[in-house]
Amino acid sequence: MWWVLWFKNGKPELRKKVHPAVVIRQRKSYWRKDGVFLYFEDNAGVIVNNEGEMKGSAITGPVAKECADLWPRIASNAGSIA
């Protein structure tokens, strides 16, 4: 998923500005096509630039398989894929 978000808290250079981001985990449960029921402990996203490349260098926690399939550069920086 591709979202546009803004920060209330965090680093001053990121606050009160709109940034494009990719959702890598979501708390809301969903069914995969293979019948697996999946949900994560928290919601998480990765800030990307307009070309879809990550602004950061590391991802903590798992990344959803659907996100890893759509965004291979995010998958290469992920610690684990769930």
Go through 39-70 and write b for each residue having 16 or more CB atoms within 10 A of its CB, e for each that does not.
ebeeebbbebeeeeebeeeebeebbbebbbee
pLDDT tens per residue, range 9-24 = 777 877 777 888 888 8
Residues 6+ apart with CB under 8 A from 70: none
pLDDT tens per residue, range 43-54 = 888 888 888 788
Q: What is the pTM of this model?
A: 0.76
Chosen CATH of 2-81 out of 3.40.1080.10, 3.40.50.720, 3.40.50.10540, 2.40.150.20 = 2.40.150.20
Q: Greatest CA separation found in the chain?
A: 43
Confidence of residue 82 (pLDDT cuts 50, 70, 90): confident
pLDDT at 37 over 90: yes
